[in-house]
Amino acid sequence: MTHYPTLDDLKTQAVDLAQTYEINWDMLDENNENLMNMKRLLTTMEGALPELEKYYMKLTSIDQDKLQGSMGVHQYTGLVLDIQDELLDAYACQELMAKIDGVQALTG
């Protein structure tokens, strides 16, 4: 049986991933519309988290030996990995949003 990362593992990976992104503060300061568009994008991704987490937990708790009737192991693995990627992106967006909100709170 394959062991997949836990949600906490994915959150930790996303923190590291978010640190690799550079926020263009000048662009966000330059135009309020730029800031609102960025926040809308990040909030949309973050909003998908509950659903993604639910599916990921269900999929990773399935007994893989029982997959033969409904879907093959390769399809199942691909689906789990796709959701993992989406979770990482959404968690990274959550981190970036927190950073932007934190800076805004300090700089008002």
* Predicted TM-score of the model (pTM): 0.85
Average pLDDT estimate for 37-51: 91
Between 17 and 30, residue with greater pLDDT: 17
* Token digits of residue 90: 């959404």
Rounded Cα–Cα distance for residues 92 and 103 (Å): 17
Closest by CA position to 95, among listed 45, 52, 51, 26: 45
Q: Is the dihedral of CA 23, 89, 18, 77 positive or negative?
A: negative
The pLDDT value recorded for residue 91 is 96
Is the pLDDT at 38 greater than 80? The verdict is yes
Between 93 and 62, residue with greater pLDDT: 93
Closest by CA position to 7, among listed 54, 46, 40: 54
With cut-offs at 50, 70 and 90, classify the pLDDT of residue 3: confident
